[in-house]
Structure 1
């Protein structure tokens, strides 16, 4: 039996506005402020990634669009305090522009990121893989409508996720976390159709930052399924350490794309996961990588 609206359906939950999150305001020359939109104690990592990319993009020419972001999460961000972003103009070339962004709350550094921008150009092109065939997102139910109460167990984690992150997601296969909750190991792979919950404006920077926001969702947890553990396993300590995004072609973050994730290594209290984002035709649009802390206290 699916979750009822009273126990976790997204229609009964006030979802964060991704457009509002990404709309950082200028506070001075190369200085911006982003508000936090979450009921969680800590700021969702994708929020700072998306806001940092937006802040950096506000300082480059419109014909230079983001192609990569490399971020290090220094301290957990507080959700009741805005994040201030200071942009340093590292390089402005004919083809590439580079910015370093420091996100802070008071004297506490939350994120340090490097964002690179490139003017569009033509050249050699190929990709070595395409997406594994999957049912279309329209043929799949919303995750919160597809899971029985017995499989889900305690629904609080899902309500917390839905109220914290403005991303809609649908899984072509069983979400490995559900099997892990039953004590069953799974391969370190998972995939979901994802998009922002709301339509975004037409600015390409908004959609690049919108995917940066979405890209943090589930990624690190892909390393846990072989161990039959999940992020809410008692004693589990999970924290993102660094995160990278490479954008291969323009796309809209408010349209459905298939996000494949592979947690290919875990050890020494850390795990590493990679991600690939495909369109409906199997074209690779973006790649991600994340390392994080995964250990028992």
Structure 2
């Protein structure tokens, strides 16, 4: 059975000492193949790490590698190693895997998670977004933006349905409003790649997208473990294809596009996900078949809550081999 809300999306149960499993198989986002959204795997890893630390320890970094894709027809299994436990810090190593039909246990993700007991702040500051965005109360929902693009003749109904299908899971869990100043709102996350944007004259590394997001009601989140695991789930979203979406390209222009590694850093000990948060995405560098991009998140008061950086694979699309023409006898 598929998870019904965010609480179930990151729910785990302990199966033995240091071992856990997800209550549900992971779900897919932005992929038509039975390959899970990486945020599902990351969220389960975060929940498993949290389950092994004492109350009062708050996650401040989660660093790791996506080893291989997770499948959507089986649960995720985790193994947690305790690396450090002091009066101030705790460190955990997490391995996430799945059992294949052959019985082999295949690794999907490895992560190091660090926790700290809250301490008084000598300094409080954070960088603002790179661009000023409209407030959420004046921004239409993703569905309203999509419908308007169809009615204005900017995109076809078929393209709108493709977007709704690809990103339906996120839309069912979070209310999302793409700020009109950002590229995502102007080209529907890159799907409408032929549409011009207001940032086309800027260098690629200066182009940004901004989304206001908040958890939909009745998501069942009660503990810090659940909320921070959901943050890990959320922050993985869209980073791998930002370079293409910001440059009039999409998945069909690449041979492969997916996350390789991640660095998720939290700057506040807990998050109120029911309140609006602004996510800004940009790409920083690309070469050698890889890209490096960043997603940052602020609360409504303008305090940076967390950031996620990733290197991602972005392979050149292979050329089609010409079909062999049968010689006439």
Q: TM-score, normalised by structure 1?
A: 0.87
- Computing the radius of gyration from Cα coordinates, the structure with the larger value is 2
Count how many residue pairs are aligned between Structure 1 and Structure 2. Answer: 283
Q: Give the corresponding residue for 1:155.
A: 160
C-alpha change, 1:72 and 1:254, in structure 2 (3 Å) is farther
Listed as ranges, the gaps of 5+ residues in structure 2 are 100-104, 318-329
CA deviation string 1:109-140 (max 9, x = no partner): 01111111110001322335223442222322
Q: Give the corresponding residue for 2:235.
A: 215
CA deviation string 1:86-108 (max 9, x = no partner): 11111111111000110001211
Out of 251, 259, 267, which is 2:271 matched to?
A: 251
Q: Is the 8 A contact 1:270 1:291 kept in 2?
A: yes
Aligned partners of 1:254 and 1:244: how far apart in 2? 24
Runs of 4+ residues over 4 Å off in structure 1 = none
Aligned partners of 1:172 and 1:101: how far apart in 2? 36
In the TM superposition, residue 205 of structure 1 has moved relative to its aligned partner by: 1.9
Residues 1:170 and 2:177 aligned together = yes
Q: Give the corresponding residue for 1:197.
A: 216
Q: Give the corresponding residue for 1:290.
A: 310
In the TM superposition, residue 282 of structure 1 has moved relative to its aligned partner by: 1.1
Listed as ranges, the gaps of 5+ residues in structure 1 are 1-13
C-alpha change, 1:267 and 1:244, in structure 2 (3 Å) is same
In the TM superposition, residue 183 of structure 1 has moved relative to its aligned partner by: 5.7
C-alpha change, 1:75 and 1:170, in structure 2 (3 Å) is same
In the TM superposition, residue 77 of structure 1 has moved relative to its aligned partner by: 0.5
Q: Is the 8 A contact 2:208 2:282 kept in 1?
A: yes
Aligned partners of 1:261 and 1:120: how far apart in 2? 28
Q: Give the corresponding residue for 1:108.
A: 106
Whose RCO is larger (CA < 8 A, sep 6+)? 1
Q: Give the corresponding residue for 1:130.
A: 128
Q: TM-score, normalised by structure 2?
A: 0.79
In the TM superposition, residue 246 of structure 1 has moved relative to its aligned partner by: 0.7
